[in-house]
Amino acid sequence: MRNMNISKMQDPLSREVIIVNELGLHARSAAKIAAIASHAESQVTISKGDEIVDAKSIIDMLTLACGKGMRITINVDSDADVEILSKIAELVENGFGE
């Protein structure tokens, strides 16, 4: 896992986003994230506070219990996956298309 203490402004492999859709991070939205993350060459994680989970696992993401307005951090472990990071962040910021 990456060092979570690195400043988000200085780390191009990390992005903080806010859950904006009414239903929060639920099964359908987690499945959309997992579908994008599955194309990554490196590990993709999502964290809320001290909890860090695999973004390729729907079940793991659901354990975060993220409701509307909660902040999560998306991380990738390789520069090769910066586009994956951007796609997931955009998906979350756009309310998962809901």
Compute the distance between CA of residue 29 and CA of residue 77 in angstroms, rounded to an integer.
22
Among all chains, which residue has been given the structure tokens 């994008």?
A: 36
Compute the distance between CA of residue 60 and CA of residue 49 in angstroms, rounded to an integer.
15
Q: What was the pLDDT predicted at 10?
A: 52
Concerning whether 39 is annotated as a catalytic residue, the answer is no
**CATH fold of 14-97, please?**
Histidine-containing Protein; Chain: A; (3.30.1340)
The terminus-to-terminus CA distance of the chain in angstroms comes to 31
pTM of the model: 0.86
Q: What is the mean pLDDT of residues 24-41?
A: 97
Q: What is the mean pLDDT of the chain?
A: 90
The distance from CA 17 to its chain's CA centroid, rounded to whole angstroms, is 8
Burial of 60 per CB tally in 10 Å (0-12, 13-18, 19+): middle
Q: E-strand spans in 22-95?
A: 44-48, 51-54, 71-76
The residue extents of the domains of the chain are 14-97
Which residue of the set 26, 52, 78, 95 is catalytic?
26
Q: What is the mean pLDDT of residues 39-58?
A: 97
